[in-house]
Amino acid sequence: MNFWEFVGSRHQQLLTDAYQHASAVFQCMVVATVLGVLIGVATYRSEWAGNLATVTTSTVLTIPSLAMIGLLIPVVGLGVPPTVTALTLYGLLPVVRNAIVGLRGVDPALVDAARGIGMSRASRLLRVELPLAWPPILTGIRVSTQMLMGIAAIAAYASGPGLGNEIFRGIASLGSRNALNQVLAGTLGIIVLALLFDAAYVLLGRLTIPRGIRV
């Protein structure tokens, strides 16, 4: 059985895995974005708090993903919980860092102007600072998503959802007839998903970054 025949015969299973993979990454990314931007907003004004947030999140990133999931199993159990926790934690760093850099990069003269014309703290943040910091934040989200695509594959180790299951099953049965096909299908599926997500982000950028600050 060659690769295409394999994909043809298993497409039901592959599509389900791909859908679960994408859905897990997407949902974790939403949570990571919300958390990351909130952390950024809470910390960017203070030198040490901002640095603390960046250092903490990058420390998380240095933990090998297999170890992280392994360590989470005794705490949150098997299946979806360790996957979601790990993915969200890994997704935080690029978002937090870019949110802080982006918010700090807003021209102080503009913030001053915003204060000067009588905008409250909240409206300054929502209408001036966040929109201006949005392009770097979006870049952070893109980087995070690419990263999570790969990391999500490891989740299968903890019986999590996604294309990682194909890869792990293939590796477990190395030497058997469809082992290589399974690994290949899982890997290629992840690559295709990553490209699709990236295209979606380009479109999102087009739609959400105002023409006045598009480069």
Partner 1 sequence: MSETTASSAATGATIELENLTKRYPGNPQPAVDGVSMEIGAGETVVFVGPSGCGKSTTLKMINRLIEPTGGRIRIGGEDVTRIDPVKLRRKVGYAIQSSGLFPHMTVAQNIALVPQLNGWPKSRIRSRVEEMLDLVGLDPGEFRGRYPRQLSGGQQQRVGVARALAADPPVLLMDEPFGAVDPITRDHLQDELIRLQHELHKTIVFVTHDFDEAIKLGDRIAVLRERSHIAQFDTPEAILTNPADDFVSGFVGAGAALKRLNLTRVRDVGISDWPTVTVDDPLQHVLDRLRASGGNEILLVDKQGRPYKWLRRGDLMRAKGSLARAGTPVHYTVSRDATLRDALEAVLTDNAGRVAVTGRRGRYEGVVDMETLMNSVHELLEADRLDALEHQHDTEEAGSARAHSGQEGPDGSGGEAEKA
Of 174 and 204, the one with the shorter C-beta distance to partner 1 is 204
- How far apart are CB 207 and partner 1 at their closest, in Å? 14
Place of tokens 């600050």: 213
Separation CA 32–CA 92 (nearest Å):
5
Of 53 and 128, the one with the shorter C-beta distance to partner 1 is 128
Structure tokens at 65: 């993903």
Closest of 163, 145, 143, 144 to residue 155, by C-alpha: 163
Contact (CB, 8 A) for 93 and 148: no
- How far apart are CB 18 and partner 1 at their closest, in Å? 36
- Between vectors from CA 174 to CA 180 and to CA 160, what angle results, nearest 5°? 80
Of 114 and 183, the one with the shorter C-beta distance to partner 1 is 114
Q: What is the DSSP letter of 177?
A: T
Of 137 and 149, the one with the shorter C-beta distance to partner 1 is 137
The residues binding partner 1 (CB under 8 A) are: 109-110, 112-120, 123, 127-128, 131-132, 210-213
- How far apart are CB 201 and partner 1 at their closest, in Å? 19
CA 33 to chain CA centroid, Å, is: 8
- How far apart are CB 185 and partner 1 at their closest, in Å? 44
- How far apart are CB 65 and partner 1 at their closest, in Å? 37
Of 116 and 175, the one with the shorter C-beta distance to partner 1 is 116
Separation CA 141–CA 13 (nearest Å):
29
CA 149 to chain CA centroid, Å, is: 8
